[in-house]
Chain A
């Protein structure tokens, strides 16, 4: 799969502060790409450079193989973290205005807005002013405006902030659908569970440097710890635990079950396979629980950032 966006060794300084230090990122076409990092790591600066709001000091950015230029403005949809709308303007007018700024004709913009407003069930807001809407309602309008011109690249910076769980889900589904329709999405957030759910690829930026990039599954594989969460029913819990502690590296586990089982985290060596562990366990009692422990993005995030 080819890359839609290629950021190559981009650096940016603000005065004495280095916001980005030779950062390279490749975003595959048709993927949802998670751009992660703690506060002040340089994510927003990178996103602004992609949007041609800021110019990099050194390095290049290519969209679809071409160096970034003015013509790319219509190819990118950007939902900034610091976002807002003109308070005293009516919803419909404002959406039309912003869509026209992205190069849509008025008629085209109107037709698409109608479609989206019906889709999100917000059609009756057309004549309302933004200041009459709640924050979540305004966010919905903002989302529509971001995706309306059907850009190749969508950039969402904390898209779920300000949404209640129901609407956050609605927006999440829309993002997935847009990806399925062929758009590429860059997704910047602190909410790791949504990264887990949505992202195909991630890059982790910390203190102006990229410290991790790749397919989410590959990264998880890389961080895998060969540990299994196990529940086993046995008459002699203490005896079994002692026996196992000699064979494996074990620690107590904590999860909810119906009966009084022995609950353990069992780490096996590279030489052993899960099947061998399982057959050993079944010979000792009734196995009610057997799950491989996969590191969450949250764990990876914290581990990488603190080690860095």
Chain B
């Protein structure tokens, strides 16, 4: 008798109808969006503030280098002592006062620059002023050595090495960045999915134990079926939740951005600006083009298929372990010590993905870990954007599925012993005996 569909249906409906599940499904994206809105709104407020900065340049050499930008207005003060300038700046509620001492020697002048302000200035502001000054001082020094600045500017030559594989596939630096983001997102998604829904499966197993319904169920259903039903039902509920989150998130995002005036138009303007600048600036233009190309270079079909397969198999592998843990313990507080060792390989996989794969996607470490079943879902998915031979993907997937089936089978044995055990842990010797059944 195959009861799997029946069990899946029950698990799914129980999860989906659960009040806390419904509340979380609706509330989570709202909370996220509200947080996002608040942060965006506040940072916009911050950005919109125009800061005025007073400059007292007693050397008279660099004050012309400071040009007003959208957010900073420079005010050049003349003919006054430092004390008076400080007072004036304070009264005019300037953000701060940049003081450049009299020039005695061009070499020591950079050591006589100071910034006075009420509060500690922002890092970006300081580095902006520093780079302006550096550029200006360098120019002055070059000029004093009789070098023509215009000639230097004219002879600047940007270089961007075009990359191409022997098969004729073009790549670029930005390719790697896009791939990194892609792989990172997938790894993180799998990680979150396993933690959230793995825990849900574990709780559901523990619930069956504590309500003592398990012996009734187990007299009609094979434990493997019950466990698989639980895993699949909970996963489907998880997918439902994810899809709803995406939908609500998408709708709310549009609503929030339009109503709260966090201007999409501004962002569009920025984009237009970038495009415009790109048109004027050949270097930027190239980068933008590279970015678009990088996306086109991703092996999309391969990625999507591999994503579905590896994600599903990887998730099922871990969730069967969660189910086994749930059956071996009596209550949720006892689970922690078992959960950590299970999550270790997953955390390891994410680190390997983020550090080793990006550095050397086809190196020994990357290749080995993309075959080991417990790390392969994350590592292989991160490698695929860089191009992985089909045979490697297939072998890795086969290993993963094989291990998954083995784990489910093994977990079911623990499950079968565990669910009827209250207050004691099963011995390995006994497990082996149960496995024969």
A residues with CB within 8 A of B: 14-15, 48, 51-55, 57, 70, 73-74, 76, 78-80, 82-89, 97-98, 100-103, 142, 145
Interface-located stretch among B163-171, B210-218, B383-391: B210-218
| Across-interface contacts of A53 in B (CB, < 8 A) | 215, 218-219, 420
With both beta carbons as reference points, the residue of chain A lying nearest to B217 in the complex is identified as: A101
With both beta carbons as reference points, the residue of chain A lying nearest to B18 in the complex is identified as: A88
| Across-interface contacts of A48 in B (CB, < 8 A) | 420
Distance A15 CA – B428 CA, assembled complex (angstroms): 10
Q: Is the CB of A89 within 8 A of B14?
A: yes
Interface-located stretch among B111-119, B395-403, B429-437: B429-437
B259–chain A nearest beta-carbon distance, Å:
38
Given known A-B contacts A14-B430, A88-B18, A97-B10, A102 and B215 have beta carbons under 8 A apart: no
Q: Is the CB of A73 within 8 A of B6?
A: no
Give the 5 A-B CB pairs with smallest separation, nearest first.
Answer: A84-B212, A80-B215, A84-B211, A101-B220, A51-B219
With both beta carbons as reference points, the residue of chain B lying nearest to A80 in the complex is identified as: B215
Q: Is the CB of A85 within 8 A of B211?
A: yes
| Across-interface contacts of A14 in B (CB, < 8 A) | 430
Q: Is the CB of A88 within 8 A of B14?
A: yes
With both beta carbons as reference points, the residue of chain B lying nearest to A89 in the complex is identified as: B14
Given known A-B contacts A15-B430, A55-B436, A89-B14, A73 and B213 have beta carbons under 8 A apart: no
Q: Is the CB of A70 within 8 A of B212?
A: no
> How many A-B pairs with Cβ below 8 Å?
71
Q: Which of B162-220 contact A (CB under 8 A)?
A: 207-208, 211-213, 215-220
Q: Is the CB of B215 within 8 A of A83?
A: yes
Q: Is the CB of B212 within 8 A of A101?
A: no
| Across-interface contacts of A83 in B (CB, < 8 A) | 212-213, 215-216
Residue B26 lies at the interface, judged by CB distance under 8 Å to chain A: no
Contacts A53-B219, A76-B219, A80-B216 supplied; 17 other A-B pairs, CB < 8 Å: A53-B218, A53-B420, A55-B436, A78-B215, A78-B219, A80-B212, A82-B212, A84-B213, A84-B216, A85-B213, A86-B207, A86-B211, A87-B207, A100-B6, A101-B217, A101-B221, A145-B216
B1's contact among A54, A82, A103, by CB below 8 Å, is which?
A103
Q: Is the CB of B1 within 8 A of A70?
A: yes
A12–chain B nearest beta-carbon distance, Å:
10
Q: Is the CB of A87 within 8 A of B420?
A: no
Q: Is the CB of A101 within 8 A of B420?
A: no
Residue B102 lies at the interface, judged by CB distance under 8 Å to chain A: no
A131–chain B nearest beta-carbon distance, Å:
10
Q: Is the CB of A73 within 8 A of B1?
A: yes
Distance A84 CA – B211 CA, assembled complex (angstroms): 5
B215's contact among A70, A82, A145, by CB below 8 Å, is which?
A82
Given known A-B contacts A15-B427, A103-B1, A73 and B220 have beta carbons under 8 A apart: yes
| Across-interface contacts of B437 in A (CB, < 8 A) | 55
| Across-interface contacts of B430 in A (CB, < 8 A) | 14-15
Contact-size category for B: 20 to 34
Q: Is the CB of A98 within 8 A of B220?
A: yes
Given known A-B contacts A73-B1, A145-B216, A87 and B211 have beta carbons under 8 A apart: yes
**At the interface, is chain A mostly helix, strand, loop or mixed?**
loop
B213–chain A nearest beta-carbon distance, Å:
5
Residue B269 lies at the interface, judged by CB distance under 8 Å to chain A: no
With both beta carbons as reference points, the residue of chain A lying nearest to B19 in the complex is identified as: A88
Q: Which of B210-237 contact A (CB under 8 A)?
A: 211-213, 215-222
Distance A83 CA – B436 CA, assembled complex (angstroms): 27
Q: Which of B1-31 contact A (CB under 8 A)?
A: 1, 3, 6-7, 10, 14, 18
Given known A-B contacts A14-B430, A15-B429, A73-B220, A86 and B1 have beta carbons under 8 A apart: no
Most chain A C-beta atoms within 10 Å of own C-beta, residue among B14, B18, B211, B216 = B216
Distance A74 CA – B221 CA, assembled complex (angstroms): 10
With both beta carbons as reference points, the residue of chain A lying nearest to B210 in the complex is identified as: A84
With both beta carbons as reference points, the residue of chain A lying nearest to B223 in the complex is identified as: A53
B residues with CB within 8 A of A: 1, 3, 6-7, 10, 14, 18, 207-208, 211-213, 215-222, 420, 427, 429-430, 433-434, 436-437
| Across-interface contacts of A102 in B (CB, < 8 A) | 220
Q: Is the CB of B420 within 8 A of A97?
A: no
Distance A102 CA – B430 CA, assembled complex (angstroms): 29
With both beta carbons as reference points, the residue of chain B lying nearest to A155 in the complex is identified as: B219
B409–chain A nearest beta-carbon distance, Å:
16
With both beta carbons as reference points, the residue of chain A lying nearest to B215 in the complex is identified as: A80
| Across-interface contacts of A85 in B (CB, < 8 A) | 211, 213, 216
| Across-interface contacts of A52 in B (CB, < 8 A) | 219
A245–chain B nearest beta-carbon distance, Å:
57
Q: Is the CB of B216 within 8 A of A98?
A: yes
A34–chain B nearest beta-carbon distance, Å:
21
Distance A20 CA – B420 CA, assembled complex (angstroms): 17
| Across-interface contacts of B436 in A (CB, < 8 A) | 55
| Across-interface contacts of A54 in B (CB, < 8 A) | 420
| Across-interface contacts of B212 in A (CB, < 8 A) | 80, 82-84
B57–chain A nearest beta-carbon distance, Å:
75
| Across-interface contacts of A79 in B (CB, < 8 A) | 216
Selected A-B contacts with CB under 8 Å, 23 pairs: A14-B430, A53-B218, A54-B420, A57-B433, A70-B222, A78-B216, A78-B219, A80-B212, A80-B215, A82-B212, A82-B215, A84-B216, A85-B216, A86-B207, A86-B208, A86-B211, A87-B207, A88-B18, A98-B220, A100-B3, A100-B6, A101-B7, A145-B216
Distance A6 CA – B215 CA, assembled complex (angstroms): 23
Most chain A C-beta atoms within 10 Å of own C-beta, residue among B211, B218, B429 = B211
With both beta carbons as reference points, the residue of chain B lying nearest to A52 in the complex is identified as: B219
Given known A-B contacts A84-B213, A86-B14, A86-B211, A73 and B219 have beta carbons under 8 A apart: yes
Distance A97 CA – B429 CA, assembled complex (angstroms): 35
Q: Is the CB of B6 within 8 A of A86?
A: no
A51–chain B nearest beta-carbon distance, Å:
4
With both beta carbons as reference points, the residue of chain B lying nearest to A146 in the complex is identified as: B216
A27–chain B nearest beta-carbon distance, Å:
17
With both beta carbons as reference points, the residue of chain B lying nearest to A100 in the complex is identified as: B6
Q: Is the CB of A97 within 8 A of B1?
A: no
A152–chain B nearest beta-carbon distance, Å:
15
With both beta carbons as reference points, the residue of chain A lying nearest to B420 in the complex is identified as: A53
B41–chain A nearest beta-carbon distance, Å:
40
Q: Is the CB of A97 within 8 A of B6?
A: yes
With both beta carbons as reference points, the residue of chain A lying nearest to B427 in the complex is identified as: A15
Most chain A C-beta atoms within 10 Å of own C-beta, residue among B208, B220, B427, B429 = B220
| Across-interface contacts of B10 in A (CB, < 8 A) | 97
Distance A84 CA – B215 CA, assembled complex (angstroms): 9
With both beta carbons as reference points, the residue of chain A lying nearest to B3 in the complex is identified as: A101
| Across-interface contacts of B217 in A (CB, < 8 A) | 98, 101
| Across-interface contacts of B3 in A (CB, < 8 A) | 100-101
Distance A102 CA – B1 CA, assembled complex (angstroms): 9
Distance A103 CA – B220 CA, assembled complex (angstroms): 9
